[in-house]
Amino acid sequence: MSSTTKEVHSVIKRILADERAYRTSLNYAVGYCRAGLTMSGHELKVQTLYILNNITHWRHADAKLVRKVLKEYKEEMKAVDHGDCPLCGEKVLDEFRDALSKREYEISGMCQSCQDDVFGRNESE
H helix or E strand, kind and range, residue 3: helix 3-17
91 phi/psi in degrees, rounded to 5? -65, 135
Q: Distance from CA of residue 37 to its chain's centroid?
A: 12
- Interacting span for Zn ion (CB under 5 A) from 27-35, 76-84, 99-107, 114-122: 114-122
Q: Considering the rule CB under 5 A, would residue 85 count as an interface residue with Zn ion?
A: yes
Among 12, 26, 55, 111, binds Zn ion (CB under 5 A): 111
DSSP per-residue string spanning 80-125: HTTTB-TTT-PBPPS--SSHHHHHHHHHH---HHHHHHHH---TT-
- Interacting span for Zn ion (CB under 5 A) from 14-22, 76-84, 96-104, 110-118: 110-118
Return the residues of window 36-55 that contact Zn ion according to CB under 5 A.
none
d(Cα 121, Cα 99) in Å, to the nearest integer? 14
Q: How many residues bind Zn ion (CB under 5 A)?
A: 5
Q: Considering the rule CB under 5 A, would residue 88 count as an interface residue with Zn ion?
A: yes
- Interacting span for Zn ion (CB under 5 A) from 26-34, 59-67, 71-79, 108-116: 108-116
Question: What is the closest distance, in whole angstroms, from the C-beta atom of residue 85 to Zn ion in the complex?
Answer: 3
Among 87, 101, 108, 109, binds Zn ion (CB under 5 A): 87
CB-CB neighbours of 1 under 10 Å: 8
Contact residues: Zn ion, CB under 5 A: 85, 87-88, 111, 114
